[in-house]
Amino acid sequence: MKITLEKISDILKEKDKFYILTHQYPDGDTLGSACALALALQRLGKKAKVLCSDIIPKKYDLLFEGLKKQNFDPEYIISVDVADVQLLGNKLEKFATKIDLSIDHHASNKKFAMQQYTEPGSAATAEIIYNLFKIMGVEIDTFLAKCIYTGISTDTGCFRYANATPRSYRMAADMLEKGIDACEINRIMFDMKSRERLEIERQVLDSMEFYCDNKCAMIYVTRDMMKKAKATDTDVEGLASIPRQIEGILVGVTLREKKDGSFKISVRTDEKINASSICEQLGGGGHVCAAGCSVDGDLNEVKRKLVSVISSFIK
């Protein structure tokens, strides 16, 4: 059921105990949106808790500043930036049929919650949270501003992606006026790398293959590669941007082997090719220029499946 931000505001003021769910392999938008919402609710005298199936990378510690740790049973469950319950991960899948409200910006959202607010025109779910706060009358201070800015910045590739709109820039500017150190946030999110990350990047570049008359570039990360680099899941975050950086590439693909042997696929495309449509054919979805899915099979089999689908779009 569709719902308005005004109605969401009323519900949040009425209820008292909230679980806020994020997606697996968490990024700055799902965590920034969740932490901003949880912190705002706590300041309203509510109990609110951010949950994630995966270990949260240390670089996102700044989002949790000021957030109290609370133990309680939920009265209302919200997912943020989650397009499909399959993206909740193993630890949160128990909530798949219990989600009261989904707040998301993915056009491919599966509409799994009791009530749904989806705004595909927003570059990040954090933009929706920003507008929700305006309606709720929540004063955005430095702590909340860090969360919102991080969500917008990371989902727009530090404002380099086509999804960044004039509104995205205006919201970011508003966050800067709240006193955040955007330079430091950008450094932490985009420039800071561990030695393990540099080693996995070296291996990934060696793995790169080209298809479809050199219009598609593909890289992969296997569990063996991660073991060799002594890398964690945190160290491989953001690799998906690498293939699309190559001149002449229309479709960049990153394959990441999961613990169960399947592969998490990230697709980044030129504006002329719809990444979400590609991933929808493989059971996933996302945005026009950035989407994802999961594919079963060994590495070579998964690559063949991907190339078969992608080639039809490039033609």
Residue 53 sits in a domain of what CATH number?
3.90.1640.10
Same-domain status, 239 and 145 = no
Same-domain status, 281 and 214 = yes
Same-domain status, 130 and 21 = yes
Number of domains in the chain: 2
Backbone angles phi, psi at 186, to 5 degrees: -65, -40
Same-domain status, 186 and 247 = no
Helix (H, G, I), strand (E, B) or coil at 187: helix
Same-domain status, 309 and 160 = no
- What is the model's pTM? 0.88
Same-domain status, 37 and 170 = yes
Which CATH number characterizes residue 253's domain? 3.10.310.30
Same-domain status, 205 and 166 = no
Helix (H, G, I), strand (E, B) or coil at 311: helix
Which residue, of 169, 190, 211, is where some domain finishes? 190
Task: Look up the domain containing 297 and give its range.
Answer: 195-314
Same-domain status, 14 and 39 = yes
Q: What is the pLDDT along the chain (315 residues), one digit of tens a residue?
A: 889 999 999 999 999 999 999 999 999 999 999 999 999 999 999 999 999 999 999 999 999 999 999 999 999 999 999 999 999 999 999 999 999 999 999 999 999 999 999 999 999 999 999 999 999 999 999 999 999 999 999 999 999 988 999 999 999 999 999 999 999 999 999 999 889 999 999 999 999 999 999 999 999 999 999 999 999 888 888 899 899 999 999 999 999 999 899 999 999 999 899 999 999 999 999 889 999 999 999 999 999 999 999 999 998
Same-domain status, 121 and 44 = yes
> H helices then E strands: how many in the chain?
10, 11
Which residue do the tokens 């609110």 mark? 48
Same-domain status, 13 and 49 = yes
Which residue, of 163, 190, 217, is where some domain finishes? 190
Same-domain status, 143 and 208 = no
Q: How far is 216 from 267, CA to CA, in rounded Å?
A: 10
Q: How far is 266 from 61, CA to CA, in rounded Å?
A: 25
Same-domain status, 154 and 297 = no
pLDDT tens digit sequence for 178-234: 999 999 999 999 999 889 999 999 999 999 999 999 999 999 999 999 999 999 888
